[in-house]
Amino acid sequence: MNMSSHVITPGPYRATKLWNEVTRLFRAGMPLRKHRQNFRHYASCFTASAAIDWLHQMLLSNSNFGPDVTRQQTVQLLKKFLKNHVIEDVKGRFGREDLEDNNTLYRFPSTSPLKPIPCPAPASAPGSIKKRPSFRDKEGFFKFRSFKKQERETQENEDPALQAEGENQPIGEQQGQRRVMTVEDEQEIWRDITLTHLQRILGCASLDEVLDQRHVNPQNIIHNMTKVNKHGVVTLDDKTNDLPHWVLSAMKSLANWPKYDNAQPSYPGFERDVFKTVSDYFYSLLQPLLTYELYELFINVLGLLQPQCERVAIEALQLCTLLLPPASRRKLQLLMRMMSRISQNVDMPRLHPAIGTRTLMVHTFSGCVLGSAVECDLDELLATRLVSFLMDHHQSILSVPEYLLNAINDHIQYLRRVQVPLDGVSNVDGSEPVCVPMPIYAFCHQISGAEFEQQKLEASQKAMEELLEMLLTDKHISEKDRRKKLKQFQKQYPDIYSRRFPSSHSESNKPKIKPPLLNIKKTKAFSIRN
């Protein structure tokens, strides 16, 4: 079972790469032996039950899938293996999904079952998608003329020579080619800054590999970040796209069970009927909440769901969910809140006789949260992994990232204050306009354990040094108490105290000179002779 596996990092066709990885591990690690069936012996084969046992344990321990994989999901995966000729029965039959959890014998075929990785079409190909022009490429907008010194905000990295040139330009010339920022310009700023941050978090050379940017609507980003209620849930302008009243009432009933409504029915199994009503509604939607268009993007974020990258994964999902249509984001927020509350409610009766409440939540709603337009063999496993993480961290993931909101607003306000020339117009002196830098933010990187311990030690020592200074400067402490506390501090933290008072430390280390002993003359012993 200790098969060497690796994390499939973000990139194009990640689902196909995951399929090939699972196939490789299964073929390399599944124990094979000789079996007898119907008075015949079959070499190098295995039973369906043995394959389910082995594959289930492998998926549970694989960081690409996590601990929420069930045995039934493993059976479904083996059925897909049989359909795609990863395995075949001992008579060479395959192509159907009629595998059951029993002692039927199967074997590996001699042909390679790996799926080919499609090669992306070159940009110059006739059938390739033309890249949507980015607002970052519109240099004319991000360039502004120099202007009067008293009207200009000094930037940290601005060239002083450019400042001097601006002071010598006539005011009339400076104001001549100014244009007003349009709504489309602002929308492009929202879109491009958001995608820039997302690309940096994913570590991709280009988002084109995992996202068709034609499906990114900047109005969705603006709405999701600015139109929220006090609980952080998106509000909708068009109420026809909202959850129906009866669904919202059912979700509130389950989320606040049993304190929601005293007038609600109390017959046995009522909560199960309400739960089925909610799940039926979400599966009746035309597409999953994360949409078909963003499927590949969310599949790639799954590559970040590692213990050491949890914070990065949360930030990536935080940005990805901003791209959703507001109606889908609102439904996702309310669904995750309900699932989380039900999972943590100890008073909730069992909704399934054989499955725990948390497992039931994840596996019931995973299919209506993430799915591809074209059937994918690993859809169920990948959706389970993502929904489990979403439910555990929904408060952080589905909140508005304040750092991004401030960065966008500051950039827009800055561009409104400066003079924005018309595209293609240069400065009066013939020089190129000055370029406004896009706001760039760096993200934390992982450090080693030794570096962490060193930083922790430095932080604690700094806190102790501040405490020592407080003892020395506090005017509300009597001198007697001050000396007492300083003495205690010196005893507990001698190194910090010695750095603050080096002279006292050197004196304390001096060897104490004992006073000379008194010369005591020996008393002469009494003698008869004397």
Helical (H) or strand (E) element with 176: helix 171-176
| Predicted local confidence at residue 119, as pLDDT | 62
DSSP 209: G
Q: Is 497 helix (H, G, I), strand (E, B) or coil?
A: helix
Rounded-to-integer distance, Cα 504 and Cα 190, Å: 60
Rounded-to-integer distance, Cα 462 and Cα 496, Å: 9
First to last CA, the chain: 102
Rounded-to-integer distance, Cα 369 and Cα 387, Å: 7
Rounded-to-integer distance, Cα 434 and Cα 140, Å: 10
Residue with token string 């304040």 = 402
**Whole-Å CA distances, 270 to 178, 278, 284:** 66, 13, 21
Residue with token string 């029915």 = 265
Please choose, from the candidates 475, 363, 453, 347, the residue with its C-alpha nearest in 3D space to the C-alpha of residue 66: 363
Query: Beta-carbon neighbour count of residue 54 at 10 Å?
Result: 17
Beta bridge partners of 88: 107
Q: Hey, what are 376's tokens?
A: 């994918």
The whole-model pTM stands at 0.64
Q: Hey, what are 349's tokens?
A: 């009766």
Decide if 241 contacts 223 (C-beta within 8 A).
no
Q: Is 32 helix (H, G, I), strand (E, B) or coil?
A: coil
Q: Is 300 helix (H, G, I), strand (E, B) or coil?
A: helix
Contacts 24+ apart (CB under 8 A), 54-58: 54/1, 54/26, 54/29, 54/30, 55/26, 55/30, 57/1, 58/1, 58/3, 58/25, 58/26, 58/29
Regions of the chain short of the pLDDT cut 50: 1-2, 122-158, 162, 164, 166, 171-176, 422, 424-436, 441-443, 505, 510-511, 513, 517-520, 522, 526-528, 530
| Predicted local confidence at residue 49, as pLDDT | 94
| Predicted local confidence at residue 520, as pLDDT | 47
Q: Write phi, then psi, for 40 (nearest 5 degrees).
A: -125, 150
| Predicted local confidence at residue 340, as pLDDT | 94
DSSP 241: G
| Predicted local confidence at residue 250, as pLDDT | 92
pLDDT in tens, 433-488: 444 455 554 445 556 666 766 776 777 777 778 778 887 887 778 888 888 888 88
Rounded-to-integer distance, Cα 452 and Cα 455, Å: 5
